[in-house]
Amino acid sequence: MKARLAASAVLALGLAIGATGCSMVTYQATTEHYDASDGVSVDVGDLDLRNVLVVSDDGTDGNLVMTVVNTGDRDQTLKITPEGADVVELEVPAHETVVLGSEDAEPVLLEGIDAEVGGLTPIFFQYASEEGIEKRIPVLDSRLYEGLAP
Q: Does 80 share its domain with 109?
A: yes
Q: Which domain holds residue 12?
A: 2-31
What is the C-alpha to C-alpha distance for residues 107 and 116, in angstroms, rounded to an integer?
A: 20
Residue 149 lies in a domain: no
This prediction has a pTM of 0.77
| Overall domain count for the chain | 2
Q: Does 7 share its domain with 50?
A: no
Q: Does 46 share its domain with 110?
A: yes
* Per-residue pLDDT, 22: 61
**pLDDT tens over the chain, length 150 residues:** 677 777 777 777 777 766 665 666 677 777 777 777 889 999 999 999 999 999 999 999 999 999 999 999 999 999 999 998 899 999 999 999 999 988 888 788 999 898 999 999 999 999 999 999 999 999 999 998 888 988
E-only strand ranges, the chain:
40-44, 47-55, 61-70, 76-82, 88-92, 97-100, 109-111, 120-127, 133-140
Query: Are 90 and 77 a contacting pair, CB within 8 Å?
Result: yes
CATH number for 116: 2.60.40.1890
* Per-residue pLDDT, 104: 82
Q: Does 70 share its domain with 17?
A: no
Q: Does 66 share its domain with 115?
A: yes
Q: Does 133 share its domain with 81?
A: yes
* 66: nearest Cα among 99, 110, 113: 99
Q: Does 12 share its domain with 59?
A: no
Q: Does 27 share its domain with 99?
A: no
Residue 122 lies in a domain: yes
* Per-residue pLDDT, 45: 94
